[in-house]
Structures are given as C-alpha cells and as structure tokens.
Amino acid sequence: MSTARFYRFHHNGAARYAVERDGVCHLVEGDIFGDWREVAPIAKPERLLAPVVPSKIVAIGLNYKDHAAEQGKTVPAEPIVFLKPSTAVVGPGERVVIPTGVGRVDHEAELGVVVGRRATRVAEREALEYVLGAVCVNDVTARDIQRTDRRYTRAKGFDTFAPVGPCLATGLHLDALEVEGWVNGERRQASSTRQLIFPIAQLVAYVSAIMTLLPGDIISTGTPSGIGPLQAGDRVTIKVEGVGELTNPVVAGQRFGLA
C-alpha cells in the first residue's frame, strides 16, 4: 500500500491540492474525494491550509486506557461520541486562541481519520473502505469548563480549538501509528493507536450507525495520557507517524462570556 500526502494550499487565488509521493509534489486537478489526477510538478507548499473542510468532527472520548486512568474514569463500555464544530478548525501555523476567563485549556494529541465517501450504517468488516486517510488533530479543550458543565460541546467547541493538518496521508496502516503531543519542544504525550480501546474500523461502523458521515468528515480517535495546559506564547505540536507534524502558536483572546 503506497503512501501519498495531500497538501491543501492557496494557488493562484484558489484553494488547491498538491500530492507528494517519495518527496516529489504535483499539483492536483479534480476532486480528491472523487476523480482527480496529477498534473504539473510543483514545489512542496510551505504555507498550508487545513487539509480538509469537514462538515463535522466526530470526536471520541476516553479511547486510551491510560487517559481514562489519568482522568480518574472507568474504561467505557462503548465509544463516547461528541462533536466539534467545523468552525473550530484551523490549519498548520494558525493561532490557537485562548479566550480570557475560560480557565485551564489543554492540548490533546489525536489521530484523525478522514472519511472518503458517504457512510451510513456501514459494517465493521467494510468500514476501512470508507476511510480516505489520516490527519493530525489537536482536540483543544477548556478543561475547567468541561468539568463544570460535565459536557463536551462548549469546552471543545471554541473557535480555533480544532487544529488539523499538516496533510491528508493515505496508504497508512492506521492501527499501528505513533501519536505524540509536544509543547515548546517538550514531549508530553506518546502512545500508539495499538492502544486504542475501540479500534478505527469499530469507530467508523459505530458512528455511521448514528449519523451519516460525509466525504471530508473527521473522526478524531481519542487522546493518550499526558494532556496538559497551554498558555499564551506556547507552541504546540501534534505528531502522527506517517502524517507529519502539526504546529500552532497559542495566543490570548478576548474575554469569554456575554458582553
């Protein structure tokens, strides 16, 4: 299974894709979720956009045993599913903005799988056929709000709380990838998708039985232990084996709450 990396970037005033194989990039013509082809050679893009524009991010909570223990929670009997809005998505190099007044905000390094075609109630044995590839995801979380609300949406739904990138990588063996989270050059999280409580095929089948998944949608598969706080001035990096590194600066924003 050959690996390809699709980078999304601005080219002549429009968002386009380039595909990289063995260090060589070509501009893409067509729809990467349908018919496409490689055209002119191009230098590897430096300023990147989020590799996909999902209608939704379906995120999975407590999907690593060590993270469940870290949070003082029992291992779930079935996947914990919540949504992050598409408006939370930012790309590589874009700022993660921490609103003033939200309290502690954490990084969460995750493998995201990108849906390649419409999926409704797919069988687990066929589920990986609906996955196009992988991305790095930072499931940024306002931890104090999560604890107060005992819910996920508000704590994880702020604008810029879903960095995604740097590319969409295809042809990877998704059940055996290293996942790491780094802050200011210090590694805080390190695990492997071998440690997932609910593997990827099961997640795709489970989620698609609840809601229809559309091309470009992301299932963010959970974070390992080692989550920790972010503050203005930090640089946070998510690394997923075979995908690359997603780095974003952290800044302070306006006060949270009603005016």
The Cα angle at residue 69 between residues 65 and 72, in degrees rounded to 5: 140
46 domain-assigned? no
Q: Are residues 34 and 148 in the same domain?
A: no
Q: Are residues 66 and 186 in the same domain?
A: yes
Q: Are residues 24 and 115 in the same domain?
A: no
pLDDT for the residue numbered 256: 66
State the Cα–Cα distance between residues 51 and 208, nearest whole angstrom.
Answer: 22
pLDDT for the residue numbered 74: 84
103 domain-assigned? yes
State the Cα–Cα distance between residues 80 and 193, nearest whole angstrom.
Answer: 17
Q: Are residues 37 and 91 in the same domain?
A: no
How is residue 183 written in tokens? 């802050």
Determine how many CB atoms are found less than 10 A away from the CB of residue 68.
19
Q: Are residues 13 and 122 in the same domain?
A: no
**DSSP assigned state of 203:** H
- pLDDT tens readout for residues 168-213: 999 999 999 999 999 999 999 999 999 999 999 999 999 999 999 9
Q: Are residues 33 and 142 in the same domain?
A: no
73 domain-assigned? yes
124 domain-assigned? yes
pLDDT for the residue numbered 67: 79
State the Cα–Cα distance between residues 43 and 9, nearest whole angstrom.
Answer: 12
Q: Structurally, how many domains does the chain consist of?
A: 2
State the Cα–Cα distance between residues 94 and 50, nearest whole angstrom.
Answer: 9
Contact 86, 53 (CB under 8 A): yes
217 domain-assigned? yes
pLDDT for the residue numbered 259: 45
Contact 200, 193 (CB under 8 A): yes
Q: Are residues 32 and 64 in the same domain?
A: no
State the Cα–Cα distance between residues 85 and 98, nearest whole angstrom.
Answer: 17
- pLDDT tens readout for residues 62-80: 999 877 778 787 889 999 9
50 domain-assigned? no
49 domain-assigned? no
Q: Are residues 103 and 140 in the same domain?
A: yes
Per DSSP, the residues of 107-136 read E-EEEEEEE-S-BSS--GGGGGGGEEEEEE
pLDDT for the residue numbered 69: 79
Question: CB under 8 Å to 104, separation ≥6 — which residues?
Answer: 142, 143, 144, 229
Bridge partners, 37 (sequence order):
29
Cis peptide preceding 41, ω within 30 of 0: no
How is residue 75 written in tokens? 């291992």
Q: Are residues 36 and 62 in the same domain?
A: no
CATH number at residue 162: 3.90.850.10
How is residue 14 written in tokens? 């429009």
- Counting as low any pLDDT under 70, the low residues of the chain are 1, 256-259
Q: Are residues 70 and 108 in the same domain?
A: yes
- What is the extent of the structural domain holding 8? 4-41
State the Cα–Cα distance between residues 48 and 45, nearest whole angstrom.
Answer: 7
pTM of the model: 0.95
Q: Are residues 170 and 229 in the same domain?
A: yes
Q: Are residues 30 and 102 in the same domain?
A: no
47 domain-assigned? no
How is residue 60 written in tokens? 């999975």
